[in-house]
Amino acid sequence: MLNKTAIAIVGSRNCSEYGWMQAKKFSNALSKNGICIISGLAIGIDSIAHSSAMSHKGKTIAVLGSGFNNIYPKENKRLYEKILENDGCVISEYPPDTKVNTKYFPKRNEIISALALGVLVVEAKYRSGSTITANSAFKQGKKVFAIPSNIDSKLGIGTNKLIQKGAKLVTNIQDILKEININKCSDIEQDWKYENKMVPEKYKLVYSIIGNMPIDINTICNRTELPIQDVSEQLTMLELNEYIRVLPGDMFVKV
């Protein structure tokens, strides 16, 4: 698997709804075109990239900054197991009992970029781990791609600066495939639109507010400007139909 055509997808742990959707969209599309997705098993963009790759029966590689007996973060232990169950690959340069240490992460990020043809940065703060991965890719002579972000967002500072530095601004999968000399592209736009149409129209507004980061009902009410009883009813139906999941503390995330 390590010699398979691969693209790394990295980004913020505390990603926005926009970042969540773009990471899912690009990971889905790349996987459907036979490209392996590499990331670092972190929460946020990394988790979305791994999960979305597997949703199209694609391959994914997770690179750890710790030993196999100390999966980090702990809440991604199930994701780690799922990657292995789906014939993915999890690698680490450290002995199995090596504990998590932030000083190992930059080296982990270098390995991520080294294994890939290029690195796609979805969202990144200034001088974040994702920008370290991208800068490693620059030094290694790899392609660096960045999705443009809102200039007023802290999550957009890193990606926008990478574009200024020479990263290729991408808005669709074709922008990446052309750079890595893959001309045939399976169209996922219809799949993407179909997936969104699966949510009944009357629930779409509430559903669109929920991402992979936990959100509470009051925030949803404020953003949708709907009465709390209406939002509560819609959340119940979305949960029953397995569009969303309820976390402890009455927080909601997309499935």
Identify whether the C-beta of residue 125 lies closer than 8 Å to the C-beta of residue 10: no
Per-residue confidence (pLDDT) for residue 191, from 0 to 100 = 46
Of 33, 57, 1, which is closest to residue 181 (Cα–Cα)?
A: 33
| Helices and strands of the chain, counted as H and E runs | 11, 10
Mean pLDDT for the stretch of residues 15-32:
90
How crowded is residue 91: how many other Cβ atoms within 10 Å of its Cβ?
A: 16
By DSSP bridging, strand 36-39 and strand 60-63 are: parallel
User: Which option is the CATH number for 6-191: 3.40.50.450, 3.40.1360.10, 3.40.630.30, 3.40.50.2030?
Assistant: 3.40.50.450
Residue 174 exposed, middle or buried by CB count within 10 Å (0-12, 13-18, 19+) = middle
Using pLDDT thresholds of 50, 70 and 90, give the confidence band for residue 1.
Answer: low
CATH 3.40.50.450 placement within the chain = 6-191
pLDDT at residue 2 tops 70:
no
Q: Which amino acid is at 45?
A: I
Q: Model confidence over 40-56: pLDDT tens digits?
A: 999 999 999 999 999 87
Which residues, 6+ apart, have CB-to-CB distance to 57 below 8 Å?
Answer: 31, 86
Q: Output the six-digit token pair for 188.
A: 């996922």
Q: What is the pLDDT of residues 172-187, one digit of tens each?
A: 999 999 998 876 665 4
CATH architecture of 199-254: Orthogonal Bundle (1.10)
Q: How far apart are CA 84 and CA 71, in angstroms?
A: 13
Q: What's the whole-number mean pLDDT along residues 161-170?
A: 95
Share of the chain above pLDDT 90, in %: 64
Domain span(s) for CATH 1.10.10.10 in the chain = 199-254
Q: pLDDT tens digit string along 84-128?
A: 999 999 999 999 999 999 999 999 999 999 999 999 999 998 888
